[in-house]
Amino acid sequence: MLPDLVLASSSQIRAQLLRSAGLSVTIAPARVDEEAIRQALEQEGAKPRDVADQLAEAKAMKQSARHPGALVLGADQVLELQGEIFAKPESPDQAIAHLQSLSGRTHRLLSALVVVQDGRPLWRHVAEVRLTMHPLSDAFIAEYVARNWDSIRHAVGCYKLEEEGVRLFSAIEGDYFAVLGLPLIEVLNWLRARGELTT
């Protein structure tokens, strides 16, 4: 019997990855004030990976209270460039500015997962991926954003690796699934180790 997972996320790709792996997933987005949590953590000097981990835990905790007994998966992805954390773009112009900053440089994506059951964190993982972007012309960036805005607006890095975004990169060091937003192999390994999954 596959476990009933509660995914405390509004991310379509996270639900898709888990369901494509054959898991039954209940979607329960956790509305936490990410900006307030992020700012408080950054003021305490938290590293980007701790910000991602704490946000993932906050989302899982919130939905765990509403789903007694369930395994609740919280996730968060943080983009870091030279110490600066980028949030998701709120407009095409902001996406253009983000990509101009990322162009020709290596940034990190930190994808955090936390599993909580009855208010108790059971497992956590933060995957780190280093992505090196080609130098992009302003003209290309403008055309790319115009073509892809409806899709990339939901992606923290203003790209989707499984779509045209893959063209932006000269090198990616780390796990493909972690770029999409969910370190899938690691969470499947954990579920298997718990006897929740058989192979």
> Which residues are annotated as catalytic?
76
Nearer Cβ to ligand DGT (65/193): 65
From 156, 178, 184, 191, residue interacting with ligand DGT (rule: CB under 6 A): 156
Cα–Cα distance list, 67 to 131, 170, 172, 175 (Å)? 36, 43, 37, 30
Nearer Cβ to ligand DGT (48/165): 165
Decide if residue 172 touches ligand DGT (CB under 6 A).
no
Q: Which alpha helices (H) appear in the chain, and where do they start and end? A: 12-20, 34-43, 48-64, 92-102, 138-152, 176-180, 184-193
11-70 binders of ligand DGT (CB under 6 A)? 11, 13, 29, 59
Choose the binding region for ligand DGT from 35-43, 75-83, 121-129, 138-146 (rule: CB under 6 A). Answer: 75-83
Decide if residue 75 touches ligand DGT (CB under 6 A).
yes
Decide if residue 183 touches ligand DGT (CB under 6 A).
no
* DSSP classification of residue 91: S
> Facing residues of 109 across strands?
79, 129
Separation between Cα atoms, residue 98 and residue 3, nearest integer Å: 39
Q: What is the CA radius of gyration of the chain?
A: 17
Interface residues toward ligand DGT, by CB under 6 A: 9-11, 13, 29, 59, 75-77, 88, 154-157, 159-162, 165, 179-181
